[in-house]
Amino acid sequence: MEWNTLITEVGGQSTVGKVLKSTSGWWNRSSDNGSGNGTDAYAFSALPAGDRDYDGYYYNEGNGTNFWSSSEGNYDLYAYRMYLYYDYDYAYLNGNNKYYAFSVRCVKD
């Protein structure tokens, strides 16, 4: 899967979120003065675009974002995604229903 390749190239699962997230726009927790912004060390500039679920409800703007993969899951209605969240330096990789609307990044050959 292409996300695994990217994660390996930018230093691994434990830091991928921090280095791919944009330097602004991510929600900050006031309870510990933490910042959800990343370093954007690889000019990927992942923005916290949020998501749209299968009912058309839009959520998570400022908190997180999902990116679809071109790899399908075990079922026709599933594909893999990478999820970044303001509070984590790592990324989740798992399958999700294709009825959701997530962001897409194109790779130039």
pLDDT tens-digit profile of 76-101? Answer: 788 999 999 998 898 989 888 888 99
| Residues forming a β-bridge with 58 | 52
Domain of residue 69: give its range.
Answer: 2-97
Is 108 inside any structural domain? no
Quote the pTM value: 0.86
Is 85 inside any structural domain? yes
Which pLDDT does position 72 carry in this prediction? 82
Is 107 inside any structural domain? no
Is 47 inside any structural domain? yes
Phi-psi region of 50 (alpha: psi -120 to 50; beta: other; left: phi over 0): left
- Total domain count, the chain: 1
Residue 75 has pLDDT above 80, yes or no: no
The rounded distance, in Å, linking the Cα atoms of 6 and 26 is 21
Is 102 inside any structural domain? no
Task: Write the pLDDT tens digit of every residue in 10-66.
Answer: 999 899 999 999 999 998 865 555 678 999 999 999 999 999 988 999 999 999 999
